[in-house]
Amino acid sequence: MYEVEMDLVADWISIVKEVFRGGGIVLEDGLTSEDIAQIYFLQSLPEEEANSLAQQTIQKLQDMEQVIHSHLESTIVPDIRQRTEYEGNQFHFSWVFDQGEHIVETHSEYRIPLA
């Protein structure tokens, strides 16, 4: 019925890597998403808080994916169709940071603000 592409954790990790590159920090190859999230939060928090926030962030993104999948047919697709007039059946949801956190469906440019 619908073709859905979505990996919100990978999107968030990609942005984190860009932040590190912009700051001149090179991350070694082979790090997991959890490792990268911990390193990111260790830049400004004590280890225990950083580890907790890293886990919470990844879990939050995974939970958001599940919510999108669970409500795609009943709520999200009808809202996309009404607000954007997009009629396709391919959906690509991405996590973005643009004046706050959002999930954007790239074919329709539909935005879900997260704040």
pLDDT tens-place string over residues 54-94: 999 999 999 999 999 999 999 999 999 999 999 999 999 99
**Helical packing angle, 47-71 and 8-22, nearest 10°:** 140
Kindly indicate the confidence band of residue 98, based on its pLDDT and cuts at 50, 70 and 90. confident
Residue 53 pLDDT greater than 90, yes or no: yes
pLDDT at 54: 98
Q: What's the CA angle centered on 80, arms 74 and 84, to 5 degrees?
A: 160
Residue 108: how many other CB atoms lie within 10 Å: 19
pTM of the model: 0.92
pLDDT at 99: 86
Q: Are 52 and 37 in contact (CB under 8 A)?
A: no
Domain range summary for the chain, segments of one domain joined by +: 3-113
